[in-house]
Amino acid sequence: MKPKKVILGMSGGVDSSVAALLLQKQGYEVIGFFMNASPSGKPPWPSTIKWQDEESILRKICKKLNIKLIVKDCEHGYEENVIKPMFKDYEKGLTPNPDILCNNVGKFPSLLKIAKQENAQFIATGHYARIKKTKNGFALFRGKDKEKDQSYFLLGLNQKTLSKTLFPIGNLNKTQVREIAQKNNFPNFDKRSSRGICYLGKIDMKAFLKQRIKEKPGKILSPENEIIGTHPGTMFFTIGERVRENKQLILNQEFRKSFSQKKFYIASKTKNNELIIAPEHHPLLKTKSVVIKNLVLVNGKDFPKSGLKARIRHLGKLIPGNLKIMWREANKVSQKIKTRAFEIARPIGAAQNWYFIFNQGQEGVAEGQSIVLYKGEKMIGGGEIRLK
């Protein structure tokens, strides 16, 4: 019997390299797939990733393991499907999450496409996450290594995709992965983990935004609604970001004394292009609840009623709270509140809003970022954050 084929998303990093080795040991025929986001060498956006070096290391790994490697040019697709939508969101005053978008419109669809072309039964990546088959379908769990868990970035994977996906290193921690790589003489066993934004790395995001978004000067307000300075545009700032006086933020002379004595943070952005800043621990910095836009579930048949915790950023703390749904009809909020959408017969002409109410107010909650819900180790689903 021929071994089952798996298309493995690979880079020059140690995680996907060890994933390839482990899949081979499990009896799979592995085909490596590398998405090169800079084949031209001059992409229309900055990147700290050295793509030629990544591909060179990857080819050495594939040669060592004797596996086929498919390389795809995804520079144009990344620009059209990730970069442009990201800028549109920033222009709206949102703080998007391009890493989750990259997985949902780029990596996983491309892996599935190549799998079909190569008659492969599975796809795989080097993500630190776990998939388990249950009586209700497939469930997605946090990676065993809590400091490397990447389940947050996998928001949006549906049952069909999960049924074909393998995460070979999900039950390992980073130290174990490096030890396996070193034992097998992989040249990248001690290679530094990638950081920053998907395919961009750690870049100066404000400088990048200013390359494509025109400045729109506005006022900086205090919690008391006093004008205390000016800024180049709310789209260049994120809720929860610490305020530092520089060329971008110009503060009034009378306010500088307070500024030098306390730490200030972005509390909110107004529709009038104003930034409101507040000193640390101020009530304005705390958000009690959020609206979840476009809520998606890992498995609609496995949707717990209570005991949920939320993350509002990758590897952020797990925040306890309650998930609620409210029907809006004729501009009035219905009194019907449930925690499971399929328990309610949707009223004609009504719209639904999902809310997550934190047990305690949270700082740094930014519109456009993703909120991901968990029940213990299991990821339940999530969506984009919107504030009331």
Q: Which candidate in 19, 67, 198, 277 is catalytic?
A: 198
Q: How many CA atoms lie less than 13 Å away from 1 in the CB half-sphere?
A: 5
Q: Choose one of 238, 253, 281: the last residue of a domain.
A: 281
**366, 240 in Cβ contact below 8 A?**
yes
On whether both 170 and 30 belong to a single domain, the answer is yes
Q: Are 382 and 313 in contact (CB under 8 A)?
A: no
Could you tell me the pTM of the whole model? 0.90
Domain boundary among 281, 310, 326: 281
Active site residue 62: no
Q: Residues 247-303: pLDDT tens digits?
A: 788 888 888 877 778 899 999 999 999 999 999 999 999 999 999 999 999 998 888
- Residue 109 to residue 120: CA distance in whole angstroms: 14
pLDDT band at residue 344 under the 50/70/90 scheme: very low
- Which of 205, 231, 251 is the last residue before a domain boundary? 205
pLDDT of residue 195: 80
What distance lies between CA 104 and its chain's CA centroid?
A: 10
160 and 37 belong to one structural domain: yes
| Shared domain check, 329 and 230 | no
Domain harbouring 104, CATH code:
3.40.50.620
Say which CATH number the domain at 345 has: 2.40.30.10
Which is nearest to 346 in space by CA: 322, 373, 327?
327
Do residues 79 and 149 share a domain? yes
**145 and 30 within one domain:** yes
Residues 173 and 238 in one domain: no
Q: What is the mean pLDDT of the chain?
A: 90
Q: What is the pLDDT of residues 30-55, one digit of tens each?
A: 999 999 988 887 888 898 888 899 99
- pLDDT one-digit tens code per residue, 110-139: 999 999 999 999 999 999 999 999 999 999
Residues 109 and 177 in one domain: yes
Mean pLDDT of the region 58-73: 96
Domain count within the chain: 3
Biggest CA–CA distance in the chain, Å, is 79
- Among candidate residues 102, 180, 275, 312, the one labeled active-site is 102
176 token code pair:
């174990």
Percent of the chain at pLDDT exceeding 70:
93
- Residue that has been written with the tokens 């740094």 in this structure: 364
CB 6 within 8 A of CB 166: yes
Task: Give the CATH number, domain containing residue 225.
Answer: 2.30.30
Same domain, 192 and 233: no
Based on the domain organization, do 276 and 310 belong to the same domain? no
- Within this chain, do residues 161 and 276 fall inside the same structural domain, yes or no? no
Domain hosting 320: range is 286-386
> Letter for the amino acid at 212?
R
Decide: helix, strand or coil at residue 361: strand
Tokens 């697709």, residue?
77
> What kind and span of H or E run contains 227?
strand 227-231
Residue 301, classified by CB atoms within 10 Å of its CB into exposed (0-12), middle (13-18) or buried (19+), is exposed
User: 354 and 298 in contact (C-beta within 8 Å)?
Assistant: no
What span, in angstroms and rounded, lies between the C-alpha atoms of 193 and 148? 10
The answer on 166 and 23 residing in a single domain is yes
The pair phi, psi for residue 80, each rounded to 5°, is -75, -40
d(CA 68, CA 6): 11
Distance separating alpha carbons of residues 376 and 267, to the nearest angstrom: 31
User: Positive or negative, the Cα torsion across 49, 53, 56, 57?
Assistant: negative
- pLDDT at position 254 is 83
Same structural domain, 49 and 122 = yes
Q: What is the number of alpha carbons within 13 Å of residue 206 lying toward its C-beta?
A: 12
Query: Is 198 one of the catalytic residues?
Result: yes
**β 264-269/165-166 pair status:** unpaired
